[in-house]
Amino acid sequence: MSAPLYTLDILRLAASLGGQPRLTHPQATEERRSATCGSRVTVDLSLDAQGRVAEFGQDARACALGQAAAAILGAHIVGRNAAELAEARDRLAAFLGGARDDPGDWPGIAVLAAARDYP
């Protein structure tokens, strides 16, 4: 493990998380929990007529890395469609798993590179 997991950029992003409260009447809700650290993130979405994210809310009870990832997602998810979200998810997973050299083109996602060195 060569680099610290909680870089200054990660900590700044984690501290910036907020302003996206859970939606009152979402069309979809998903919750994920990390088996590694116990972090939990709940996401609410509503889509527009074209299938793009129109409204987004979340509750991230997570470590700094999870909060930073949630902040990155929240900053850029509105206006994206399911295919774009799936592609970003798959690219990031491949990057973190060592199968790709770059994390993809989701804005700000490269800041999570430090997580590659940790299981």
What does the domain layout of the chain look like in residue ranges?
8-112
User: What is the predicted pLDDT for the residue at 55?
Assistant: 98
CA distance 88 to 103: 8
User: What is the predicted pLDDT for the residue at 94?
Assistant: 93
- Under DSSP, the state recorded for 43 is E
Q: One digit per residue, pLDDT tens: the chain, 119 residues?
A: 567 888 999 999 999 998 889 999 999 999 999 888 899 999 999 999 999 999 999 999 999 999 999 999 999 999 999 999 999 999 999 998 889 988 888 899 899 888 888 76
User: What is the predicted pLDDT for the residue at 35?
Assistant: 86
User: What is the predicted pLDDT for the residue at 51?
Assistant: 97
User: What is the predicted pLDDT for the residue at 18?
Assistant: 84
User: What is the predicted pLDDT for the residue at 10?
Assistant: 94
User: What is the predicted pLDDT for the residue at 49?
Assistant: 98
User: What is the predicted pLDDT for the residue at 37?
Assistant: 84
- Under DSSP, the state recorded for 61 is E
Closest listed residue to residue 55, CA positions, set 89, 79, 72: 79
User: What is the predicted pLDDT for the residue at 117?
Assistant: 80
- Buried b vs exposed e over 35-60: b needs ≥16 C-beta within 10 Å? eeeebebbbbbeeeeeeebebbbbeb
Which one of 3.40.50.970, 3.30.1490.20, 3.90.1010.10, 3.30.750.200 gives the CATH number of domain 8-112?
Answer: 3.90.1010.10
CA distance 45 to 97: 27
